[in-house]
Amino acid sequence: MAENIVQGLRDEIENGIVTNQYVPGERLDEMQLAKHFGVSRTPVREALMQLSAIGLVEIRPRRGAVVVEPGPHRIYEMFEVMAELEGMAGSLAARRHTDADRNELLAAHAKCELSSNIDDADTYYYDNETFHRAIYTASHSSFLIEQCLALHRRLRPYRRLQLRVRNRMKTSFNEHGAIVQAILSGEAEAARTHLREHIAVQGDRFSDLIATLAAQRKGASG
Amino acid sequence: MAENIVQGLRDEIENGIVTNQYVPGERLDEMQLAKHFGVSRTPVREALMQLSAIGLVEIRPRRGAVVVEPGPHRIYEMFEVMAELEGMAGSLAARRHTDADRNELLAAHAKCELSSNIDDADTYYYDNETFHRAIYTASHSSFLIEQCLALHRRLRPYRRLQLRVRNRMKTSFNEHGAIVQAILSGEAEAARTHLREHIAVQGDRFSDLIATLAAQRKGASG
DNA sequence: ATTACAATTCTTGTATACAAGACTGTTGAC
DNA sequence: GTCAACAGTCTTGTATACAAGAATTGTAAT
């Protein structure tokens, strides 16, 4: 965090938000943050402005910044868009992937197999992230990659919740298999469809999401 | 711009960028902007921070803010993503549009017909914007709407350039017809496809874009 | 006891001051 | 004549001071 204070603060606070260190609805006191990071209010404010522009915090005039609290419906909408973007990335990846991309994808896939076999949710979570990033990269569209990374990051906490659902890890891994197959064999539309369905919060998974959200909320407050 | 200075500055500068008042590559001097808007550097900086977070300006450490200059390839990528998002909006709109949405869409379509008939590029540009917004609205996905509006805004200057191409207005309007038909008859996939192709910068349109970009660049510097 | 109003305190919003790095222009040397 | 180095200036980055609005608490009245 040495070189660029504002950027560092932004990352630090953003990280705090997506890791639920700062919970939705929480007020972010400028003075408090400034003290905590050992800087003045100025860079803190500038970092908060950036987060506000991204949509992670809301700044209400004269009333400070609060962590935005997306309702279940909005989270659903975000997953809906994420599904589309990932589908697009998969489609492009199927057409454009290089040998290097192929190796990265297969390596990430293998790692996911390991962590899903030993049933380690935390490890799977990270390996899964690597897997999806490999797809983004293989799309070779820098703008799309940025959009995917940004949205993926925002959905981090909820993605993590989903893995808690029984058997989700195994199911997820199986879906990965079909995705890898489609991408590597160049079937753009199949890759798109599989990825879209892999991400989308459809049917049971929507009620699962609501339930786990409610459970988490309860756990946090009690 | 009275109520919230930073927000107002952000909008003002952002507008200046998408209307080419501040050209890509131009340095945005904090002191100059502050003087121009009659405020101090503090709110100007905060506004620039927001624009930096959105990706409209780039802040290089100790070297100030410059308007980002997306190369042709990056602009192409942005249109590519926009096409996908609009396609998604169209697909959702086909399934979810209400009677009110239907009326708005038809009204916007009629306006486009008028302005394309009198061959008024500026008017068509605005009516076209209204048309696309009507589709976003009909998707009834607030997050998607926000994403579409944001990207649409960023692509404004290039969209405008495209209308200069011979017959593009007439072609555009005809494409609108197919889109309206698909959405109102509930054909989600047809709506998606038509919109995607309407937005995408494919084939000739890519070289047209490059050419008009180059022409504009030349005109601006001379 | 509860509610409403007022005063105080606290926080945000903006301006300004100060420090440090980048740019520019000039001078000197090769 | 050209290139490099140094000095001066300018701009950014951060801190602090000051003003104004919001929240809270206390008191008084019903």
3-state secondary structure of A120: coil
With an 8 Å Cβ cutoff, are B144 and A61 in contact?
A: no
pLDDT reported for residue A221: 47
- Of all residues in chain A, the percent with pLDDT exceeding 90 is 80
Q: CA-to-C1' distance for A63 and D24, Å?
A: 14
Q: Does B166 score more than 90 pLDDT?
A: no
Domain of residue A47 covers 5-67
Give me the mean pLDDT over the A26-35 stretch: 97
Cα gap B47→A106, rounded to integer Å: 43
Cα gap A51→B11, rounded to integer Å: 17
Tens-digit pLDDT profile for residues A37-70: 999 999 999 999 999 999 999 999 999 999 999 9
pLDDT reported for residue B38: 96
Q: Please tell me whether residues A179 and A109 are part of one structural domain.
A: yes
Q: Please tell me whether residues B92 and B138 are part of one structural domain.
A: yes
Q: How much is the mean pLDDT over chain B?
A: 93
pLDDT reported for residue A89: 98
We report the CATH number of the domain holding residue A51 as 1.10.10.10
Question: Which of A91-100, A180-189, B18-27 shows the lowest mean pLDDT across its residues?
Answer: B18-27
> Which of these three, A21, A51, A67, is where a domain ends?
A67
Q: How much is the mean pLDDT over chain A?
A: 93
Q: Does B37 score more than 60 pLDDT?
A: yes
Q: Please tell me whether residues A121 and A48 are part of one structural domain.
A: no
pLDDT reported for residue A27: 96
Phi-psi region of A20 (alpha: psi -120 to 50; beta: other; left: phi over 0): left
Q: Please tell me whether residues B57 and B80 are part of one structural domain.
A: no
Contact list in A for residue B49 (CB cut-off 8 A) is 6, 46-47, 49-50, 53
Token output for B21: 């008042």
Q: Does A213 score more than 90 pLDDT?
A: no
Cα gap B92→B188, rounded to integer Å: 7
The beta-carbon neighbor of A80 closest among B54, B141, B146 is B141
Contact list in A for residue B146 (CB cut-off 8 A) is 55
Q: Decide which of A166 and B176 is more confident.
A: B176
Q: Please tell me whether residues A86 and A128 are part of one structural domain.
A: yes
Is strand C less than 7 A from the beta carbon of B60?
A: no
With an 8 Å Cβ cutoff, are B6 and A49 in contact?
A: yes
Cα gap A130→A108, rounded to integer Å: 6
Q: Does A216 score more than 90 pLDDT?
A: no
Number of separate domains in chain A: 2
Give me the mean pLDDT over the A158-180 stretch: 91
> Which of these three, A67, A95, A116, is where a domain ends?
A67
Q: Please tell me whether residues B182 and B133 are part of one structural domain.
A: yes
Q: Please tell me whether residues B112 and B174 are part of one structural domain.
A: yes
pLDDT reported for residue A5: 95
Contact list in B for residue A10 (CB cut-off 8 A) is 53
Is strand D less than 7 A from the beta carbon of A60?
A: no
User: CB-based burial of residue A212 (10 Å sphere; 0-12 exposed, 13-18 middle, 19+ buried)?
Assistant: middle
Is strand D less than 7 A from the beta carbon of A45?
A: no
pLDDT reported for residue B218: 66
Q: Does A84 score more than 90 pLDDT?
A: yes
CA A64-A67-A72 angle, to 5 degrees, is 140
With an 8 Å Cβ cutoff, are B147 and A88 in contact?
A: no
pLDDT reported for residue B18: 92
Is strand D less than 7 A from the beta carbon of B219?
A: no
With an 8 Å Cβ cutoff, are A85 and B81 in contact?
A: yes
- Of all residues in chain B, the percent with pLDDT exceeding 90 is 80
Q: CA-to-C1' distance for B164 and D16, Å?
A: 53
Q: Please tell me whether residues A147 and A209 are part of one structural domain.
A: yes
Q: Please tell me whether residues B116 and B43 are part of one structural domain.
A: no
Question: Which of A102-106, B80-84, B105-109, B166-170 shows the lowest mean pLDDT across its residues?
Answer: B166-170
Q: Please tell me whether residues B100 and B160 are part of one structural domain.
A: yes
Cβ A72 vs Cβ A210: under 8 Å: yes
Q: CA-to-C1' distance for B151 and D12, Å?
A: 30
* Helices A121-139 & A168-184 angle (0-180, nearest 10): 20
Q: CA-to-C1' distance for B6 and C13, Å?
A: 10
From the candidates B84, B86, B92, which should be mutated to test the interface with A, based on the most A CB atoms within 10 A?
B84
Q: Please tell me whether residues B21 and B127 are part of one structural domain.
A: no
Q: Please tell me whether residues A92 and A162 are part of one structural domain.
A: yes
We report the CATH number of the domain holding residue A207 as 1.20.120.530
Give the distance from residue A54's alpha carbon to the nearest chain B alpha carbon, in angstroms: 6
User: CB-based burial of residue B86 (10 Å sphere; 0-12 exposed, 13-18 middle, 19+ buried)?
Assistant: buried
Q: Does B2 score more than 90 pLDDT?
A: no
pLDDT reported for residue B67: 97
The beta-carbon neighbor of A74 closest among B10, B80, B142 is B142
> Which of these three, B42, B67, B92, is where a domain ends?
B67
Nucleotides of D under 7 A from a protein CB: 11-17, 21-23
Give me the mean pLDDT over the B149-161 stretch: 91
